[in-house]
Amino acid sequence: MKEIIKITFALTISCVIAAAAMGLTYTATAKAKKHNHHMNVQNAMIGLLGFGEDNPAPSDLKFLNVYRYIVEDGEKKFLGYMVPVEKGSEEAYEMVLIDLEGNFVEKLEVPISAEKAEEAHDRATALQKVLAPPKIFTYADASVIATAGGKRLGYVLPGQFPGFRTFIHALVAMDPKFELLGLEIMEHEEDAGLGKEIEQEYFRNQFKGKTYEKLKTLQVIKKPLPMEYKKYLEKSKWEDGMFTEEHIAEIRKQYKDADIYAITASTISSKAVTDGVKNVAKKFAYRIGKLDSVLKKEKIHAAF
């Protein structure tokens, strides 16, 4: 009997140690994975804004997150923007409530640091202190405003939209006038063959430089992508002397208002991305316009 008890005790201790080791490994792996994802997104945003080895990002480049919520108070419904604001030398957040017509309702100080605001759980905990019942709030989405030298450089919009199989996750970048700066596909499950081509430069770079007016009517066309244009779009493959400045200017002028050439035999994926980019960009342009109007009128000192 004593021997059985010893064996049982030893097995129990071994299981506890093994479970603890697995837990620590999972925690360390999760943190590393999260850090790598953060760095991938950060680097993608820097690239979309046009910075790289040949054009280093300014030292004071900042990415400011604006979080949008749907706030309900009984039968009333509002848009809630959790906005970074200037509080002396510190960065703080305020919740700005706007009605569905775009009119200011109220602003509330959110007790949270910029670092903790990146975590959904921490944001929810802080918002529960200022949006007490009967108010309820639901997270909608986030947008990133890039600034440097006290000015806006552009917007980076995380978006997801239905693809051929599941959702396509992307980053859409726009300048302050809502001209498209670029598109990065972050995650998708399109077909491993042709559907996967949405990641390629010759497809993604077609969106770059499209004006907001063109964006409203942007379509997918089933025509072969002109070879000269394809070579221009694949900028990572450029060789010295391949394009002169005059040649580049001609190509940009020729295709600036062109629609999106579909990936051959993958029109569904091409259209999914095109429609997704249009929806994300148009909705953001409308919403930021309303928010900016309220911030200006109410003299709310947003950090952007």
pLDDT digits (tens, 9 = 90+) for 47-71: 999 999 889 999 999 999 999 999 9
pLDDT tens digits, residue range 199-243?
Answer: 999 999 999 999 999 999 999 999 999 999 999 999 999 999 999
Residue 252 CB coordination number (10 Å): 12
pLDDT tens digits, residue range 95-121?
Answer: 999 999 999 999 999 999 989 999 999
The residue ranges of every structural domain in the chain are 1-48, 62-143, 153-287
Residue 89 pLDDT grade (very low, low, confident, very high; cuts 50, 70, 90): confident
- Between strands 167-174 and 151-162, the pairing is antiparallel
Structure tokens at 186: 């972050």
pLDDT tens digits, residue range 179-197?
Answer: 999 999 999 988 777 788 9
pLDDT for residue 284: 98
CA distances from 266 to 159, 201, 262 (A): 21, 16, 7
Q: What b/e string do you get for 159-193 counting C-beta neighbours within 10 Å, with b at 16 or more?
A: bbbebbeeebbbbbbbbeebbbbbbbbbebebbee
The radius of gyration of the chain's CA atoms, rounded to the nearest angstrom, is 24
